[in-house]
Structure 1
Amino acid sequence: MRRILALFLFFALALAADRLYVAPDDGVGYLRSLVQHTKRELDLALYLWTRGRLDLAEALAEARRRGVRVRVLLDERPGGEPQDPRVLQVLKEAGVEVRFSSPLRFAHYHIKAMRADGRLWISTGNWTRSSFSKNREYSLVTDREDWVAEFKKVFEADWEARALALDDAKLVWSPERVYSVFRPFWEGNAKRRVLELIASAQRDLLIEQNGLTDEDVFNALLDAMDRGVRVRVLGSASARESNYFGRMAKRLAEEGAEVRYLEGLKVHAKAMLVDGRRAFLGSQNFTPTALTANRELGAVLEGGPALERLRATMEADWARARPALRPPRGPVPW
């Protein structure tokens, strides 16, 4: 009897565990399955959706036709261009409720997240063909009740263009800024949570990022190196000379950080591993806009199979990436 009970508890915990999905390795099938198994409500908050992922539009349309309430909240002009009209047409014809985020609320609605009944998808990637076939992206699927409830609350506020206090949130929300003059409150906690994670590192920080321009993050990484933490920074080979990543990466390399660039995949991920035991992943680039002006969502993982897979993937990417050449210091030894 005890053995049966132990097996039951093991499988119950396995089913309830967070699951990490890695792009391009895992493709898009798991996401279509998540939509297909939704029975009551589906809320999607997304920055960019192109016709390269029209299959996901059809999946949401089919969910609506079988009676699921489907709401989609999008950035109106991602990258300065309107959302794909073909995607919007498929959603509209099926009766999916679609709104654009108010430009008065956020600089960009850069979030990538979805609630499907009692499950929550949090991702670094948009719904484009390249996000699932050419990019390094990470996605977390969880049924943690407190996280699911928190996302539902924030989505409702964003749907109605209302501000919400999120300074003590369990998830990692941007924008972190003070809202209102008369009764001020913090709308997010992202920069504080990211800086706290960096400050907590004792041995090693591994950052795999698409964007790196925030000076507070830069200074926190310098402080980490000063106390003996190994700091590693990983980006796309194409970002080596970019102002969006390469410039600050070079500055960190000059201060003693290890910097490498990954060939063959675009690093669109936004992830940070702390001492191999804790990790951040989400939609936040490490830029001032992402942390303090956009709507973004991330999560902190501590232990479990999802963290272990993230650690293994990031370390594998690091191992096959090419080191950045550091400029020589002092006299050149000809």
Structure 2
Amino acid sequence: MKLMVQPDDGIEPLLTALRSAKTSILILIFRYDRSEIERALVEAVQRGVTVQALIAFTNRGEEKNLRKLEMRLLERGITVTRTADDLVRYHGKMFIIDRKELFLLAFNYTHMDITLSRSFGARITTPAIVAEAVKLFESDSHRTPFTSTVHDLVVSPTNARKELTAFIKGAKKQLLLYEMKISDPDFVKLLRDKMADGVDVRIIGRASPRASALPLRTMSMRLHARAILRDGKTAFLGSQSLRKLELEARREIGVIFTDGPAVKKMISIFENDWQKAQPAVQDSMETAMDIPVRRVAKIVAKHINVKPVVEQVLERVFDRRTSDVPFEPGEVAQTVRDAFREEIHDAVLLALRDMAAQAAQMQLLRKED
């Protein structure tokens, strides 16, 4: 197994893997704005590799870009299938080289996730896990039911709740988590119980108000990772957060592994991130304000015109004269807009909390007068 760390490793390990394919590439795409990936797939077809792309039917506002991608890939000789619409989302991120190497990713094929976010990926060659991933890919491509037979491949909604519950219950000394937004009440209770048993539980990321009692810190760097490190020996890495929706109503994919060097490296990175992170502050006022804040953030983000800025900045990065893959600033813009929405949510919430605190202080001063 080999670990990828973002933003340190960048896109090159993915391109190297795609270029190494000799017989086949199976790739699952949820969100995309990296033309290098598309170019590598096209080059694979040109050297005789069979390439099959499974494209998500939706990804929150980018359906048009996904449909454009499908057409471009089809025109270049790539077999394209689309996920069903039976689940809320097909959110997994993986590709498989020659049916021998599985690249399981916590990040999308986007500039935001790869170059500006903390995230991880894993190259796995364990035959049973790779075969299970191939089976999952083919099931979703043909829209047939998937039955889990390998516990270490964690698939929502098939076995994720069961396997992650068992994984966390097995902790004896420590649980370190990167979490996008933990909210599932069963997992919140389980982590609290582990803390009561003396297990060192620490979380970098976000959590719902019901999880406010958990030791939580937030990073200044954008986070796009879901990972759990257990007792310094075992790790989970995947696309699913500990949220009911992602465990039970979406296709999410993760893996449990015991590779010593990879786990140690993730722990080292976590400890460094933890030292730099700030304690998260959450209270009952935040709970009451969360719904209107989300609405405000959504409205504001919708009206942010990021496309011209994206075009200007990325034109300096890409040499479009040597690329036969069309550069789609709209795709990058949507990725940036989604990230802005998250940041706006937090900024608006912080501003409202400050205003509420100031109002409370003024009211207290009036009473004293």
What's the TM-score, normalizing by structure 2? 0.73
Shift of 1:200: 1.2
Paired with 2:139 and 2:281, the residues of 1 have a C-alpha distance of 47
**Which letter does structure 1 place at the counterpart of 2:70?**
L
Paired with 1:62 and 1:303, the residues of 2 have a C-alpha distance of 32
Shift of 1:47: 1.5
Paired with 2:29 and 2:183, the residues of 1 have a C-alpha distance of 23
Identity of aligned residues (%): 31
Could you tell me whether the CA contact under 8 Å between 1:171 and 1:300 is conserved in 2?
Answer: yes
Structure 1 equivalent of residue 95 of structure 2: 114
Paired with 1:140 and 1:26, the residues of 2 have a C-alpha distance of 12
Paired with 1:31 and 1:325, the residues of 2 have a C-alpha distance of 37
**Which letter does structure 2 place at the counterpart of 1:197?**
F
Could you tell me whether the CA contact under 8 Å between 2:101 and 2:124 is conserved in 1?
Answer: yes
Aligned: 1:46 with 2:29: yes
Shift of 1:206: 1.1
Rate the CA distance shift 1:83–1:137 in 2: closer, same or farther, 3 A.
Answer: farther
Aligned: 1:301 with 2:249: no
Structure 2 equivalent of residue 284 of structure 1: 240
Could you tell me whether the CA contact under 8 Å between 1:47 and 1:109 is conserved in 2?
Answer: yes
Structure 1, unpaired ranges of 5+: 1-17, 176-187, 236-244, 328-334
Structure 2 equivalent of residue 65 of structure 1: 46
Aligned: 1:130 with 2:87: no
Shift of 1:38: 0.2
Equivalent residue pairs, number: 281
* SS of equivalent residue, structure 1 residue 211: strand
Aligned: 1:247 with 2:203: no
Runs (4+) off by over 4 Å: none
Could you tell me whether the CA contact under 8 Å between 1:58 and 1:90 is conserved in 2?
Answer: no
**Which letter does structure 1 place at the counterpart of 2:244?**
P
Match of 1:207 among 174, 177, 180: 177
Structure 2 equivalent of residue 225 of structure 1: 195
* SS of equivalent residue, structure 1 residue 21: strand
Structure 2 equivalent of residue 240 of structure 1: none
Could you tell me whether the CA contact under 8 Å between 1:23 and 1:135 is conserved in 2?
Answer: yes
**Which letter does structure 2 place at the counterpart of 1:22?**
V
**Which letter does structure 2 place at the counterpart of 1:149?**
A
Deviation by residue 1:92-119 (Cα, 9 ceiling, x = unmatched): 2211111210102x22110001101111
Structure 1 equivalent of residue 59 of structure 2: 78
Match of 1:170 among 149, 152, 158: 152
**Which letter does structure 2 place at the counterpart of 1:19?**
K
Structure 1 equivalent of residue 366 of structure 2: none
Paired with 1:152 and 1:159, the residues of 2 have a C-alpha distance of 10
What's the TM-score, normalizing by structure 1? 0.80
Shift of 1:89: 4.2
Paired with 2:28 and 2:273, the residues of 1 have a C-alpha distance of 29
Could you tell me whether the CA contact under 8 Å between 1:76 and 1:83 is conserved in 2?
Answer: no
* SS of equivalent residue, structure 1 residue 79: coil
Paired with 1:300 and 1:155, the residues of 2 have a C-alpha distance of 18
Paired with 2:278 and 2:114, the residues of 1 have a C-alpha distance of 23
Within 5 Å, which residues of 2 pair with 1:147-158?
147-158=129-140
Of structures 1 and 2, the larger Rg is shown by 2
Structure 2, unpaired ranges of 5+: 284-369
* SS of equivalent residue, structure 1 residue 210: strand
Deviation by residue 1:110-161 (Cα, 9 ceiling, x = unmatched): 0001101111100101111111111111000011111111111111111110
